[in-house]
Amino acid sequence: MRNTGSADPQSSRANTPSQMPTSSSKYYHPYFSPAEIQYLSEKQRGKQTATQEEKVRQNACTFLETIGARIGFPRRTIATAEVLYHRFHLFFPRKDFQYHDVALAALYVSTKEHDTLKKPRELLAASYAIRYPDRAAKSKNPGGEIDLDTMDQTVVESDRQRLLAIERLILETICFNFTARMAFPYVIKIGKERRANKKVIKLAWRIAIDCYRTILPLLYPPHTLAIGSLYVASLLLSFEQPQVSDYDENGNVSPAVLAQQFSTPSKWKDTYRLQLGDVDDFAHTMLDLFVQFSQNPSANTSPSTPSSPSPNLPARDRHNLQALQPQSPYKSDQLIRMKIALREHEDALNGHRREQKLLSSDPSALYNNDKIGQNEGTVRFLFFPPDNKGNMA
């Protein structure tokens, strides 16, 4: 017989307001400070070294580049997927996820952002052709895609469910904000404003593509990435090169003049609302990337042209992860000399490097990421961060 004489204390406590699911807010942070990036990366890296982390990051980007080329995604879709991948591992440990699972989920979210949507099974089919080249070689499809009906359906469904689960986590890290502004249009616009020639703009476009393989898009807005790309392009085309006229027959400035403009404090930095140190940081990060690839030709950077890669890859390159990228035309010793020259120039200008100060003792506390992906209470996802006083800006 049920005892109704006294209430169960456990049940009573479960119904008290203090035990009810709470509500909370998560704020979208479009950019992070260098110190925050360093802190969060070290936190999620675990026992991995920075070199190992960078290797996995580049493998994931190459994986995304290859799938993008195979399917024929526009450059904006691939670049956004790379940014989503980098952002994800500021919140989640690398040891808990395979890079190809996160990369594929990031690509799926990016296709939604840019209205280039593909079904999860289509993305999986393209990824299997890259991950399992032996099976792809036996495929009867002209593009080398693996027919999912020939695979173990349990494995396919498990991978699909994993993709959808990680997709949800990615959506929470961006607070469901589908706004994506890319650097590529700014490269052309600002390049024309600064009277750069076509060769500089074309190379800057490729450098802008490569910058999405780094964490730079999490540090700086698109127009800063574009100016940094133009600066690095002008450096590469002028450093230790024969001196040429300051202006060509079309009235465009030479790469040397453009590099001098971007490395000297003047009104242009106020026009574009950026700091000279931001451009310097961009240049050193990209040169480090180029040094890495020049010393390790098996790792690769951007496509050989500044346009989105063709979906119709040559048969000999069909299953090659490195088919998209050429060998680096720059030698590591030349790039290192360029970095040294840049440092000396910065020191001569009394140092314009960005100060790296923590905004708090624990930057991750600002983002309240401990419960991301959990069903606990009501969560409001807001598209803008709170101000320094904890209020909505």
Between the CA of residue 193 and those of 172, 196, 237, 261, what are the distances in Å? 38, 8, 19, 13
- Angstrom distance (rounded) from CA 301 to CA 306: 12
Angle of CA points 277, 279, 284, to nearest 5°: 90
pLDDT at res. 3: 47
Please identify which residue in the block is written with the tokens 């085309």: 237
Please name the helix (run of DSSP H) or strand (run of DSSP E) that holds residue 23, with its range, or none.
Answer: strand 23-27
- Tell me the DSSP string of 62-129: HHHHHHHHHHT--HHHHHHHHHHHHHHTTTS-GGGS-HHHHHHHHHHHHHHHTT----HHHHHHHHHH
* The two three-digit tokens of residue 183, written as one number: 């650097």
- Confidence bin at 235 (pLDDT 50/70/90): very high
- Check pLDDT > 50 for residue 14: no
Q: What is the pLDDT of residues 323-340, one digit of tens each?
A: 444 445 678 888 888 888
Average pLDDT (50-71) is 93
pLDDT in the model for residue 21: 55
Amino acid at 275: Q
Q: Is pLDDT at 117 greater than 80 in this prediction?
A: yes
Using an 8 Å Cβ cutoff, are 223 and 278 in contact? Answer: no
DSSP symbol at 18: G
Per-residue pLDDT tens over the stretch 353-374: 555 555 555 555 545 445 555 6
* H runs (alpha helix) in 115-221: 120-131, 133-137, 153-173, 184-193, 198-211
Greater confidence (316 vs 177) lies with: 177
Residue 111 CA to residue 116 CA, distance in Å, equals 5
For residues 372 and 173, the answer to whether their CB atoms sit within 8 Å is: yes
Which helix (H) or strand (E) is 381 found in, with range? strand 378-382
* pTM check: above 0.75: yes
Please provide the average confidence, as pLDDT, over all residues in the chain: 79
| Predicted pLDDT of residue 222 | 96
- Reported as a pLDDT band with limits 50, 70 and 90, residue 348 is low
Domains parsed from the chain with CATH numbers: 34-174 (1.10.472.10), 183-293 (1.10.472.10)
